[in-house]
Amino acid sequence: MTDNALPRGLIGGSEKRLIRIVEYDPQWLDKFQEHSAKICQAVGAAALRVEHIGSTSVPELGAKPIVDILLVVRNSADEASYLPALEAAGYVLRVREPEFEEHRMFRTPELDVHVHVFSEGSKEIGRYLDFRNRLRTNEDERKGYEALKRRLAAMDWPNMDAYAAAKGEMVEEIIARERGSESAKG
C-alpha cells in the first residue's frame, strides 16, 4: 500500500516547459518499442500490459515529442513491485496520484518518454486506448484535435497540466464518440 508519508502529486513541484507541437515522426514508434522492451525487462512479470498511447501513438498526428507509454500492473499502489526496477532502468518518478486510480507517472531524464502506471482493471486504461483508437481511425477528429493542440500550444501556460486541461473537453467528446460507436457495433 502507499505510504501516506510519501510525496504525492507532482514530485519536485510544478514546472513551466515550452509546449511545442511537431509533425508526426515515424521514429516515435521505434522509441516506444525500445522503451517497451526496456520496461518489460526491468519489471518482468509485473508488466501485465504495455501500450503506446497519446498523440505520438497516432500516425499522421502532430504532437509534443514525448512518447507516452501505458504500463498496467496488478496494483499500482504496490510500488515495491515495479518502482525500484523502473528507477534502476533510468526512469524517474514524477507523479504519484493515489486519488486518481493510483496513477504513477515516470519519465526519462531527457523528458522525452512518460510512463503512466495503472492497476489492472482501472477505467483509465480503456479511456486511453479508446482515445488513441478513435484518433487512429477518424481523420476528421484527428485533424480537429491537432488544430486545437496547435492553437493551445501557441498560448502561454504555467505548466503542461494547464495545457492538458484546456484540451479536456475535446478529449472527453472523442472518447464518448468512440464508446458510442463501439456500442453500436456490439
Which structural domains are found in the chain, ordered by start? 11-179 (3.30.460.10)
- Mean pLDDT for all residues in the chain: 94
Is the pLDDT at 59 greater than 70? The verdict is yes
Give the closest residue to 58 by CA, choosing from 108, 9, 120, 131. 131
How many other C-beta atoms lie within 10 A of the C-beta of residue 138? Answer: 16
Cell 487512429 appears where? 136
Give the closest residue to 55 by CA, choosing from 166, 146, 175, 148. 146
Strands 67-73, 49-53: pairing kind: antiparallel
User: Whole-angstrom Cα distance, residue 131 to residue 32?
Assistant: 18
Residues forming beta bridges with residue 114, ordered by sequence position: 68, 107
pTM: 0.92
Give the closest residue to 66 by CA, choosing from 42, 86, 94. 94
Is the pLDDT at 88 greater than 90? The verdict is yes
pLDDT band at 80 (very low <50, low <70, confident <90, very high): very high
Average pLDDT score over residue span 170-183: 91
50-59, 72-81, 153-162: range with lowest mean pLDDT: 153-162
3-state secondary structure of 10: strand
